[in-house]
């Protein structure tokens, strides 16, 4: 019996050696070849852990400083950092980004977008290649200008609710500064829920299970991003944060799935039974305005390869995810920067007075289009604080840029925030100067300013986002002057998936 056990142990050891040693040698060889290909690029991080432990101990704000220091050190506009044995090539000069973003081949998103597939499925943000081209073509018509006019009504209604919420908060203590970010977040969530799904979640009046889960889910994704040992979905599902994330996804997916199901039932009733829309808890049947989901279903019925219910849910979940945080931080940072640059704010108020005079009615699209100075204010804010500070691409083919060759399969980080803050591209980059966007000052590389990305995979909702930002900012600034408690040198923020504040953004509101 002992001899039999010894023989079995010996066989198992031999099998392990036969399997492990070749795999280990293959990994070492692959690493050697990869590092040889990238050896001409400035490097950060040594074998085998790269910068993982160095980055993990930093705060979100310190990570920005870390990246900015390397931008100033590596003036070629490129450096590569390693997390474990995975290289990430960072680009932050317009001409370098143009090569990648202009491509119609290298359109696959790289890490960390794969971490969000359990939430967003293969929606427009995470889909690739043939599916992405199909979905983009399908969804494109839903953002026609005439559709935006319908959405503008919703934005205006939600802005009025925001004003009432701020008035109520200010009345508690008129001299006390208000943390504006939660207000911006809730109004943006209100807008996207109604415009994307046709559902009024009353996010500004009270927190529902769905809205709370959306907030918590976004936070968990950000936390996981800098914990590489949790990148495995299987392992993440075993830890408490992963279980909480999965539970939240069940809530989100059930909510979206129910909305889609009820929308389809209502459409069938209208088409075949001519029945009256029945009242329901979400108010879907009562609404005459079409939401993004209605428009998507219209397009889907005419498509040769229509989306399944799960694919429809993925698209709606994607717009929910992308459409509230990004706008919320843009509104927040615009008010923060105006509250630190009072001379520019005064020009905004002069423009508002000129366009609206004594009127107290909500702004129309035509009136908003006349606010050219506010346009430049928003653009300069998005230069300093682009809502999405970086995007990535996983290369589908080798790419040659100058003396560098990037191998197929590698992840390229297109560092939008670094381009926008690169002193070689934007002199005195932290100076708030809306005149950078005067027509006579626009003779720069078109990829020097890309807050909504660029090329074929640019943000499909950028007109929607800018209209929403302008509507809400106009509603606030017609009512109050703002003054920030902190300034750009003292405020802390973090650039992860979104350029979000790391602390409360306190602002004083003074009636005009």
Instruction: Reply yes or no on whether the pLDDT at 48 is more than 70.
Output: no
**DSSP label of 291:** P
CA 193, 195, 200, 205: dihedral to nearest 10 degrees? 70
Domain assignment present for residue 5? The answer is no
Neighbours of 444 (CB within 10 A): 12
Cα–Cα distance for residue pair 389/496, rounded to 1 Å: 7
**Predicted structure pTM score:** 0.89
Domain assignment present for residue 25? The answer is no
- Separation of CA 134 from chain center: 22
- Separation of CA 406 from chain center: 26
Domain assignment present for residue 31? The answer is no
CATH number for 162: 1.10.630.10
Cα–Cα distance for residue pair 166/169, rounded to 1 Å: 5
Q: What is the mean pLDDT of residues 17-45?
A: 76
pLDDT for residue 269: 73
Residue 392: in which H helix or E strand, if any? Answer: strand 391-394
Q: What is the pLDDT of residues 459-511, one digit of tens each?
A: 988 999 999 999 999 999 999 999 999 999 999 998 777 898 999 999 999 99
- Residue ranges making up the domain that contains 57: 37-511
The mean pLDDT value of the chain amounts to 86
Cα–Cα distance for residue pair 126/113, rounded to 1 Å: 6
Domain assignment present for residue 234? The answer is yes
What's the number of CA atoms in the CB half-sphere (13 Å) around residue 120? 22
Q: Helix or strand or coil: residue 109?
A: coil
Instruction: Reply yes or no on whether the pLDDT at 175 is more than 80.
Output: yes
How many distinct structural domains can be found in the chain? Answer: 1
Q: What is the mean pLDDT of residues 14-26?
A: 69
Cα–Cα distance for residue pair 106/397, rounded to 1 Å: 7
Domain assignment present for residue 4? The answer is no
Alpha helices in 39-116 (DSSP H): 52-56, 60-73, 94-101
| Most distant CA pair in the chain, distance | 99
Instruction: Identify which of 359, 334, 360 has the alpha carbon closest to the alpha carbon of residue 348.
Output: 334
Domain assignment present for residue 331? The answer is yes
Q: What is the pLDDT of residues 234-251, one digit of tens each?
A: 899 899 999 999 999 999
Domain assignment present for residue 83? The answer is yes
Domain assignment present for residue 364? The answer is yes
In percent, how much of the chain has pLDDT > 70?
Answer: 91
Cα–Cα distance for residue pair 70/415, rounded to 1 Å: 12
């Amino acid at each position: 019996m002992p001899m039999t056990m010894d023989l079995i142990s010996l066989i198992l050891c031999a099998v392990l050696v036969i399997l492990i040693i070749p795999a280990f040698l293959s990994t070492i060889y692959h690493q050697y070849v990869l590092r040889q290909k990238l050896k001409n690029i400035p490097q950060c991080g040594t074998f085998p852990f790269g910068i993982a432990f160095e980055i993990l101990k930093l705060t979100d704000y310190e990570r920005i400083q870390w990246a900015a220091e390397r931008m100033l050190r590596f003036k070629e506009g490129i450096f590569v950092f390693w997390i474990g044995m995975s290289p990430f090539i960072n680009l932050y000069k317009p001409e370098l980004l143009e090569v990648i973003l202009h491509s119609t081949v290298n359109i696959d998103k790289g890490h960390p977008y794969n971490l969000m597939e359990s939430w967003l499925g293969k929606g427009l943000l995470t889909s690739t290649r043939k599916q992405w081209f199909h979905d983009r073509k399908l969804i494109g018509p839903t953002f026609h200008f005439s559709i935006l006019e319908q959405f503008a009504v919703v934005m205006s209604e939600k802005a009025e609710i925001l004003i009432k919420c701020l008035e109520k908060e200010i009345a508690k203590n008129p001299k006390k500064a208000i943390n504006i970010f939660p207000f911006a977040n809730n109004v943006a969530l209100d807008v996207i829920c109604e415009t994307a799904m046709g559902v009024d979640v009353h996010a500004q009046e009270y927190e529902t299970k769905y809205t709370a889960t959306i907030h918590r889910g976004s936070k968990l994704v950000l936390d996981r991003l800098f914990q590489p040992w949790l990148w495995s979905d299987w392992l993440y599902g075993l830890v408490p944060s992963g279980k909480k994330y999965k539970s939240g996804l069940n809530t989100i997916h059930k909510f979206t799935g129910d909305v889609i199901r009820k929308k389809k039932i209502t459409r069938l009733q209208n088409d075949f039974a001519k029945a009256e829309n029945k009242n329901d808890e979400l108010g879907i049947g009562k609404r005459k305005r079409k939401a993004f989901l209605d428009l998507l279903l219209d397009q889907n019925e005419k498509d040769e390869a229509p989306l399944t219910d799960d694919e429809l849910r993925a698209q709606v979940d994607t717009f929910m995810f992308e459409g509230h945080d990004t706008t919320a931080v843009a509104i927040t940072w615009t008010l923060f920067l105006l509250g630190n640059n009072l001379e520019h704010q005064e020009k905004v108020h002069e423009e508002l007075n000129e366009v609206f005079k004594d009127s107290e009615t909500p702004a129309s699209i035509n009136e908003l289009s006349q606010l050219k100075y506010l346009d430049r204010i928003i653009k300069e804010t998005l230069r300093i604080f682009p809502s999405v500070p970086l995007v990535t691409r996983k290369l589908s083919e080798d790419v040659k840029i100058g003396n560098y060759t990037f191998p197929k399969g590698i992840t390229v980080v297109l560092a939008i925030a670094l381009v926008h803050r690169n002193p070689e591209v934007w002199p005195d980059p932290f100076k708030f100067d809306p005149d950078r966007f005067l027509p006579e000052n626009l003779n720069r590389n078109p990829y020097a300013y890309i807050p909504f990305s660029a090329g074929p995979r640019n943000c499909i909702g950028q007109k929607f986002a800018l209209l929403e930002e302008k509507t809400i900012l106009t509603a606030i600034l017609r009512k109050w002057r703002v003054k920030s408690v902190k300034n750009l040198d003292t405020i802390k923020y973090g650039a992860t998936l979104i350029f979000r504040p790391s602390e409360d953004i306190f602002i004083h509101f003074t009636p005009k």
